[in-house]
Amino acid sequence: MGTKPDWQQALDDLPTTRACGACAVCCTVLQIDELAKPAGVACWHLKTTGGCAIWGEHPTPCKTYVCLWRLSDVLIPPDLFPADCGFMLSLTNLSQWPTAVNIMPAPGHALDAWNTPERRQLFHRLAAAWNCPVVALDQASEPTHVFTPAGNLYDSIERPDVFPGQRQLALSESEYGPDRRAPYLRMQEADFRWRE
């Protein structure tokens, strides 16, 4: 019997009452190479009643993907339920720094559903609290905007130097803060005060 890694245990310990319910955004948005499923196409293993028809045998990317809304009641505001708000939030790497929070557009919603004054304020706070960029992606998973830990917001049209293509970002060292702990440790602290 294997022991869970620290980061997995830390995530399991986060308080949550949230459930996916009628949402299936991740099973549509994610690219799953093991299934030859492109991004933006509903997975053929999605049941009409909701849920995964091959649960338990679902591919590794489905198992390791983390939806921040679903993960805990304390991380992300309740109104960012992916099926309603038009995007989902996920981390690129949980177990070590650096990482990024991705804003991935949900099918049938505007690409810029994330771009309201209230949500911009939230993403600025999140980037600073976890010392990680918060990156808005298009449907091809190419970055279009980035909130940096230093408090900047860059647009790929105005700052192409920050968006070199191939799903990469080119942020300078000065955009990051000094605290480079793994993101799961920050989540345990639950000190990202989105309620204020």
Question: What are the residues binding ligand SF4 (CB under 6 A)?
Answer: 20, 23-27, 32, 43, 45-46, 52, 54, 58, 62, 67, 69-70, 82, 88
CA distance 30 to 36: 11
Q: Which is nearer to ligand SF4, 43 or 137 (CB)?
A: 43
Residue burial 124-156, b: 16+ Cβ < 10 Å; e: rest: bbbbbbbbbbbbbbeeebebbbbbbbeebbbeb
Q: Which is nearer to ligand SF4, 45 or 119 (CB)?
A: 45
Q: Which is nearer to ligand SF4, 14 or 46 (CB)?
A: 46
**Minimum CB distance to ligand SF4, residue 175 (Å):** 28
**CA-based nearest residue to 108, from 84, 90, 89:** 84
116 exposure class (CB count in 10 Å sphere: 0-12, 13-18, 19+):
exposed
**Minimum CB distance to ligand SF4, residue 119 (Å):** 17
**Minimum CB distance to ligand SF4, residue 9 (Å):** 19
The single-letter DSSP state of residue 22 is T
**Minimum CB distance to ligand SF4, residue 70 (Å):** 4
Q: Which is nearer to ligand SF4, 54 or 140 (CB)?
A: 54
CB 149 within 8 A of CB 127: yes
**Minimum CB distance to ligand SF4, residue 149 (Å):** 24
Q: Which is nearer to ligand SF4, 38 or 151 (CB)?
A: 38
The residues pairing with 147 across neighbouring beta strands, listed in sequence order, are 134, 153
